[in-house]
Structure 1
Amino acid sequence: MIEYDFVVVGAGSAGAVLADRLSESGKHTVCLLEAGGSDLNFWIWMPIGYGKAFYSAPINWKYTTEPDPELNNRSGYWPRGKVLGGSSSINAMVYIRGQHADFNDWEAEGNPGWGFADLLPYFKKMETNDQGESDYRGGSGPQYVSTMKRDLHPLCDVFLKGAQEAGYTYNSDFNGPDQEGVGLYQNTAKDGFRMSTARAYLGRARKRSNLHIETKAHASRIILDGQKAVGVAYRQGGSEKTVTARKEVVVSAGAVNSPQLLMLSGIGDGAELQASGIDVAVHRQAVGKNLQDHLGVDYLYRSKVPTLNTQLHPWWGKLYQGIRYVLTRRGPLSLGVNQAGGFVKTDTSPSRPNVQLYFSPVSYTKAPAGQRPLMNPDPFPGFLLGMQPTRPTSRGHIALRSSDPTASPLIHPNSLSTAHDRNEMVEACKILRKIAESPAMRAVIDEEIAPGPSVQSEDDMLQDARARCSTVFHPVSTCRMGPNPEENVVDARLRVYGVDGLRVADTSIFPTVTSGNTNAPAIMVGEKAAAMILEDHKTA
């Protein structure tokens, strides 16, 4: 049995950060366990290759939800990264921190140290922004953030003009003083390659002698001595192995796998654990509960002018852009697909933006379920207007399918289960139509393909959303942080209630989902968790 100071489970958006920061001083030994393998994969590193990584079994857990009642009992596809870098290696790379008020809400709910003023130093510490350091942006961190304007499709400017004609203001930086408005997205990319946390953090950390990385190491349970975490059992190459932790075990396996691992270890709702044949070590009824996610839908348009479809559908277009990318790291293959968008308010006049917009100058109407064939778009010019309400109130849960660690967990999203969420979905659909009806957009739209002109009433829009909407891949809150151990899993220092030497640090600890993409705040959690752990062990 090998012993380290710290054992980190999961090398994803937060776990890779923890492995780097905890080993940085050289004073501690760290073991990082990752169920997946290497991130040296062409489809990971090429930005638009996420359309392949999105559905690739070797690097993706490829989860499927249970039938969702309010979505016509459809089962949803939930890709999660199973590779160094985790979901930061397979996501669409949009870099959004969230609204300042999101984090102030966290603090107001009884989580000291989690207000925006407290977290801004961590956001800045983790980031190198290609526009340079400012009051809000970092200039020397490992996570590179790129402004992609030089290669964006010209239709992005048409979208921005149309959105402003529809009454929405322009915002030059969604991660600056205020999030509201429309603008261009920044990506976690550098020099034409994806900048996952594997590249950003492990790339510099993996050569340290005090950091040991085990890949293809599927954690099966946390080893407890009484009510203290002392190690992790894992499966690798057909063998059962263990690693022990002198100081702490940190679970950073994500909003699906972190609660699953706790439950497999006997930490969870006692009655549910016993029903799965698992001995109860620590009764924590909130484990796996409080699941939140963003739910979105796209409106698809045939275009009167060329789009990325025009460049990427014909074989010669693929060849040209492929050669261009290999030689220059430029062009559409060097970008994510969500190029422009914004954060706006519905007509119900909320106090702050409650809808996120996406503009993608590409379309794929016949994609197989759960796939994004970005290199094989529609044969006609088309584009997508997409949206997601940012602060849903529906709550789902994660449960065990069985006591077998290799069995996928049960995912119950419980989408659109509140009147609030159904109303905001309809109001957000109206915003897409409002922008599409602007003079700038009317000039380039040939026709609306989906949902089509027959969908007009609020009920029509809701029924269309139920039939077509899907996750935007932002699950959170399944090991929620909060002051009441009966309703939450971890305290404000991310320590699991009732278990010594055990923390959780990933999106599962979010008290509520942030207003936007969750990769940036997940990385921040890794930074803050590492700082707290080192502080608690009196090490700088």
Structure 2
Amino acid sequence: MYDYVIVGAGSAGAVLAARLSEDPAVSVAVIEAGPADSADEIHIPAAFGALFKSEWDWDLDTEPEPQLGGRRAYLPRGRMLGGSSSMNAMIYIRGNRADYDAWAAAGADGWSYDDVLPYFQRAEDNERGKDAYHGAGGPLRVAESRSQHTLAGAFVEAAEQAGYARNEDFNGATQLGVGRYQVTQRDGMRCSTAVAYLHPAMTRPNLTVITDALAQKVLFEGDRAIGVEISRGGVVETVRAEREVILSSGTYGSAHLLLLSGVGPAQELALFQIETVRDLPVGENLQDHYMTLLNYRSDTESLMTALSPENLALLQQQGRGPLTSNIGEAGGFFETRPGLAGPDVQFHLAPVLFHEEGLGAPVAHGFALGPCVLNPTSAGKLMLRSAAPTTAPRIVHNYLATDEDRASIVAGLRIALDIASRAALAAHITADFVVPESDSEEDLLAFARRYGQTLYHPTSTCAIGSVVDSRLRVLGLRGLRVVDASVMPTVVRGNTNAPTIMIAEKAADLIREDAVATTGGTK
């Protein structure tokens, strides 16, 4: 029996476990399906691609995507302490003020930009120091890239030659423009939420971390969640929660677990003989950023040869060099048409070939650049495939389903071709590797459908307003909360790791406030 049982020790769960266990009067358990984050590939920034399709990856796929010619899209997700913060590209982006203000305007009380900014600042230890937008002294180290690859600098220069302004801080006064990304690294190594939050808290006697344990379902007495059934080492156990069960298993995992537990669309649950505990639209409104990259060959040395004894020594002894690269070193935000509330396209530049959904071998020196649909109007759905907890869910992202999204990706690819043609970047190109046939709308859209991929930012399957309330409590149930990217009403304009950490920081306060309100702060 614990006061709080958290399912998932990832980007949100590790934060929650650390924050809630700050109170020595409460007991906290966090359950992680994967192992500890002890592998070198997790901590060396440039090695994260080696985690794809490994024991540390949930290795999910979509169903045949209607707008991608029936192609299935690969969906990597972290399966270890730190979750996807232990295998992401470490880019520190918060999203746009307009995202959060739109949430609040649609009824998500307490989630406007001004409401959430203090939680971003509380989490942050920015090496630039504290200012009106940034924090210093928090658990999460935010740093400049220690790689500073030549090709990343050439991209920024070429974008300026194409007429786009340089932006030194995408999380400051404005998001538009091009520049290098700040990263969640400490001394050139990955700073996941496991590193930043969980490991320092694991010495506390009131925090229990359970690894290699699959949560099978949430247990209820009436309308109250009382614990979680887990499978560990072939043995089924019950972990009971006196106060709350908190799902932090991510956009796919939390929705999947709710469905397995009888929380979801009643008609669909009945197909699997799962008794409905609460009829809610769990799994609907699934959103993501769809990215399409151009790849060019180059005679400039890329990250293909980063793993050398010399570079390993640079990393270990000085915390710098190519192995500190987060791959997506530079990028920018663009508005491709008038009348938008914010940018509709985000760019990433990788100083290495990045193709076949990140699974293709870097067979030559080169680089990749391209846009994602940043503010998608397409939405998909997560559904059960089976009532067995070990069976992956059915996922349809429904990428590029709307005219707006297709217009954004086509316009973004034209920007990419333009930037690649500018002198600063063209000087590094020796040949095409994977590029569109032409800049016609037909060829660009065909290219996007054939070669596009997830940017690893799924959100909104347990959204505020439809599945949870503004305090992240599951509607109509007691003692059950969801805290991760699945609660976002819409995907933010930017990489989702920093917003997920912010959600967990804010949720820790909400949970403590609710505990005081219901128990007077005592057990």
- TM class, shorter-length: over 0.9
Is residue 2:334 matched to residue 1:344?
yes
| d(CA) in 2 for partners of 1:351, 1:325 | 41
Segments of structure 1 that go 5 or more residues without pairing to the other structure are: 483-487
SS at match of 1:96: coil
| d(CA) in 1 for partners of 2:21, 2:483 | 16
Instruction: Answer whether contact 1:63 1:78 (CA < 8 A) is retained.
Output: yes
Question: 1:62 is matched with which residue?
Answer: 59
Is residue 2:87 matched to residue 1:90?
yes
What's the CA shift for 1:320? 2.7
Question: 2:16 is matched with which residue?
Answer: 18
Question: 1:448 is matched with which residue?
Answer: 432
Q: Cα RMSD between the aligned structures?
A: 1.5
Question: 1:485 is matched with which residue?
Answer: none
| d(CA) in 2 for partners of 1:157, 1:259 | 40
Map 1:353-502 to 2 at 5 A. Answer: 353-364=343-354, 371=359, 377-379=362-364, 381-452=365-436, 454-482=437-465, 488-502=466-480
SS at match of 1:342: strand
What's the CA shift for 1:502? 0.6
Partner residue of 1:4 out of 2, 5, 19: 2
| d(CA) in 1 for partners of 2:337, 2:279 | 44
| d(CA) in 2 for partners of 1:15, 1:189 | 19
| d(CA) in 2 for partners of 1:276, 1:167 | 56
SS at match of 1:59: coil
| d(CA) in 2 for partners of 1:206, 1:504 | 22
What's the CA shift for 1:304? 4.8
Is residue 2:122 matched to residue 1:137?
no
Map 1:178-189 to 2 at 5 A. Answer: 178-189=174-185
Instruction: Answer whether contact 2:147 2:323 (CA < 8 A) is retained.
Output: no
Question: 2:286 is matched with which residue?
Answer: 291
Is residue 2:512 matched to residue 1:514?
no
Partner residue of 1:334 out of 319, 324, 337: 324
Question: 2:511 is matched with which residue?
Answer: 533
Partner residue of 1:146 out of 131, 139, 143: 143
Question: 2:303 is matched with which residue?
Answer: 308
Question: 1:77 is matched with which residue?
Answer: 74
1:123-152 deviation digits (Å, cap 9, x = unpaired): 00001011111111110110111111x431
Q: Which amino acid aligns with 1:532?
A: L
| d(CA) in 2 for partners of 1:71, 1:269 | 27
1:50-101 deviation digits (Å, cap 9, x = unpaired): 0111221x21110111100100100111111111101000111111110111
Q: Which amino acid aligns with 1:64?
A: D
1:384-411 deviation digits (Å, cap 9, x = unpaired): 1121020001110000111101111111
| d(CA) in 1 for partners of 2:196, 2:382 | 30
What's the CA shift for 1:449? 2.6
After TM superposition, the score normalised by the length of structure 1 is: 0.93
Partner residue of 1:47 out of 45, 49, 70: 45
SS at match of 1:246: strand
SS at match of 1:51: helix
Q: Which amino acid aligns with 1:345?
A: E
Instruction: Answer whether contact 1:55 1:371 (CA < 8 A) is retained.
Output: no
Q: Which amino acid aligns with 2:490?
A: T
Q: Which amino acid aligns with 1:169?
A: A
What's the CA shift for 1:349? 5.6
What's the CA shift for 1:348? 4.7
SS at match of 1:67: coil
Question: 2:246 is matched with which residue?
Answer: 250
Q: Which amino acid aligns with 1:463?
A: A
Q: Which amino acid aligns with 2:457?
A: H
Map 1:261-276 to 2 at 5 A. Answer: 261-276=257-272
After TM superposition, the score normalised by the length of structure 2 is: 0.96
Is residue 2:217 matched to residue 1:221?
yes
| d(CA) in 2 for partners of 1:254, 1:210 | 24
Q: 1:32 to 1:364 in 2, by over 3 A?
A: closer
Segments of structure 2 that go 5 or more residues without pairing to the other structure are: none
| d(CA) in 1 for partners of 2:427, 2:209 | 54
What's the CA shift for 1:372? 6.0
Instruction: Answer whether contact 2:266 2:276 (CA < 8 A) is retained.
Output: yes
